[in-house]
A and B are shown apart, each in its own frame.
Chain A
């Protein structure tokens, strides 16, 4: 693992179990680095969950217009960089509620009764970047891709 600054963890703890079990053959500094990445990944994973919860609660801006809810569908694939940044990719279901444009009578009446929107649920991938400041991870950017 020496010589690479980017470490990827797919599936979290399970993926780490085998190398840790062979701990006697691993140098202590490498083990410490692995543990640090594990801690970073865990923190980022938790951060992502909280971030999605806050998006759904409307506390923070959604990564795309008209997003009503965003559900993380799987564990995130996280890559932690030694320079204090990280990236994550996670499949998600995104529900959007897009207002129907126009001023036709039907559209106006639909709006009046609380409708007049197109509801859609899509499977997308959330691509996020993170930065670590003062020992804490923060979401630097998040975008939805097909």
Chain B
């Protein structure tokens, strides 16, 4: 009996229904949050008046633990169902506004009387199902008392943290916060934990231990997950609102317990504890309500048809330097003059003749004709050479990216092809293990390079060239996330893709990632954690042609999450 529920399609491949406003309205009618845990009665029978700085004043009457009435500013009071949960002095409650596609998630710190209000709504973007939000900071007004001057605030103090969460619903996730306005989530129980994904995220500081986390799965289902969490005790109370892959409404409050899994480095200046505010529009206009930074790669019009790919004639093979190669290492002549055969366990073999530092010839065993290709090679560690080339004339614009260890007679090939079942110009990859056959070398019969999870959880920064630095977060054994730093050094925009990791030697790893449903690139790097330098090859098919290009960056360790254990198969 299968124990892990894998989805038929991962989030980035799911064709979510374009729900209409009318469909959403129908699904929201009369909705109130469900809860597995007992709802809090802390406000039952009470009234609250929440004043926000730049938003509405919300006047509540809580009739019971699940019914309230709310008046927005000077508006008429309306009744709604709600759910509340508490974490010590902090209460989170959530409700919709009947007859609308709006609602509120409200966080009240009863000790300080400060409040943080998330107004949420549907049908505010091209994808109606994507939850929109605006955050208001304020306080609970009390008769005869002066309004407090303190406020909850956006913060970078959550940046670098990570937790394994188990909700009272049984839902199990890994949630990693390597950015100040994005986060990673790995759905361990919902999706089997194969891939990590990213979503725009708000981080609000209540105090030094308590924070609010709110992400919206933009470009996927559009669902929102918001929770208050205690960083010390790893406890949470939260709410989930949105529509799942089958368009069913998910609206529930939850409690959860977690495990702190680590802390990554922060790269802001010492003393900088501010959030990374959303920059105002260049035209001087104020930010639109709900504005947030979202990476929406599938809306960049980079996709091509099969016919367009077939008609491509432009090729750039290790052409002009790109910003991704500003710190690449020297090209190696290690291979020049060598003749050898690379024989892989899947039966594929290729004979090579390296004529020059940038020119090789290859052929299949038994063929008489040689194919000439342009290549580049780098010797990352003594005797370990990475090189790559196109296979001119191959049916899918194939490329080989190879790491050959001449000290041990081993080779691993990342075989790249263009075209997936989803997008015609999206790269795909296979990993082949094999051996080097050449004069004077007897390769091993059984030993091979191997897939590894040793990098899982590690974060490494990569400085490619001036102004261009990212951080890799190796989120699962099968995915990788990249985070772009802002000018202050704060983690910013983030995305992720399927990936794979092969151990070449101690502290030497071959990794690839596929920018699936992103821009189609296959990135491949040989990570040397002794020199803290990589070499690598990008492979991309776009409207400007097919490109095989060098990559190279200087690395820094940025910390590690202890998460590999969550991916291992257990009895």
**Which positions in A face B, CB cutoff 8 Å?**
98, 100-110, 112-120
- Docked Cα-Cα span, A61 to B399, in Å, equals 47
Contact A100 B467 (CB under 8 A): yes
Whole-angstrom distance between the Cβ of A122 and the nearest chain B Cβ: 13
Instruction: Name the CB-closest residue of A to B276.
Output: A113
Residues of chain A contacted by B486 (CB below 8 angstroms): 113-115
Interface residue from B279, B482, B495 paired with A114 (Cβ < 8 Å): B279
Query: Lowest 5 A-B CB distances belong to which pairs?
Result: A118-B467, A109-B493, A113-B493, A118-B466, A113-B492
**With A100-B465, A113-B492, A115-B486 as contacts: A105 and B323 at CB distance below 8 Å:** no
Interface residue from B293, B466, B470, B487 paired with A106 (Cβ < 8 Å): B470
Report if B287 contacts A (CB, 8 A): no
Number of A-B contacts (CB under 8 A): 67
Instruction: Name the CB-closest residue of A to B467.
Output: A118
Contact B464 A106 (CB under 8 A): yes
- Docked Cα-Cα span, A135 to B466, in Å, equals 47
Most chain-B CB neighbours within 10 Å: which of A102, A106, A115, A119?
A106
- Docked Cα-Cα span, A100 to B464, in Å, equals 11
Residues of chain B contacted by A101 (CB below 8 angstroms): 323
Give the residues from 496 to 523 in chain B that come closer than 8 angstroms, CB to CB, to chain A.
Answer: 515, 518-519, 521
- Docked Cα-Cα span, A142 to B527, in Å, equals 48
Whole-angstrom distance between the Cβ of A96 and the nearest chain B Cβ: 11
**With A100-B323, A110-B468, A117-B467 as contacts: A105 and B293 at CB distance below 8 Å:** no
Instruction: Name the CB-closest residue of A to B519.
Output: A105
19 sample A-B contacts, Cβ–Cβ < 8 Å, listed by A number? A103-B544, A104-B324, A105-B297, A105-B495, A105-B518, A106-B470, A106-B484, A107-B468, A108-B300, A109-B295, A110-B493, A112-B295, A113-B293, A113-B493, A114-B487, A115-B485, A115-B487, A116-B467, A117-B467
- Docked Cα-Cα span, A116 to B484, in Å, equals 10
Contact A100 B519 (CB under 8 A): no
- Docked Cα-Cα span, A91 to B464, in Å, equals 32
**Which positions in B face A, CB cutoff 8 Å?**
279, 293, 295, 297, 300, 322-324, 464-468, 470, 482, 484-487, 492-493, 495, 515, 518-519, 521, 538, 542, 544
Instruction: Name the CB-closest residue of B to A117.
Output: B467
- Docked Cα-Cα span, A119 to B466, in Å, equals 8
Contact B518 A112 (CB under 8 A): no
- Docked Cα-Cα span, A142 to B519, in Å, equals 43
Contact B467 A119 (CB under 8 A): yes
In the complex, besides A100-B323, A116-B468, 5 extra interface pairs with C-beta distance below 8 angstroms are A105-B297, A109-B493, A110-B468, A118-B466, A120-B466
Contact A119 B487 (CB under 8 A): yes
Whole-angstrom distance between the Cβ of B482 and the nearest chain A Cβ: 7
Most chain-A CB neighbours within 10 Å: which of B322, B468, B521?
B468
Whole-angstrom distance between the Cβ of B290 and the nearest chain A Cβ: 17
Contact A102 B467 (CB under 8 A): no
Residues of chain B contacted by A118 (CB below 8 angstroms): 466-467
Whole-angstrom distance between the Cβ of B320 and the nearest chain A Cβ: 10
Contact B487 A109 (CB under 8 A): no
Contact A106 B467 (CB under 8 A): no
**With A113-B293, A115-B487 as contacts: A105 and B465 at CB distance below 8 Å:** no
Residues of chain B contacted by A114 (CB below 8 angstroms): 279, 486-487
- Docked Cα-Cα span, A103 to B518, in Å, equals 12
**With A109-B484, A113-B484 as contacts: A104 and B322 at CB distance below 8 Å:** yes
Whole-angstrom distance between the Cβ of A119 and the nearest chain B Cβ: 7
Residues of chain B contacted by A103 (CB below 8 angstroms): 542, 544
- Docked Cα-Cα span, A112 to B295, in Å, equals 8
Residues of chain B contacted by A106 (CB below 8 angstroms): 323-324, 464, 468, 470, 482, 484
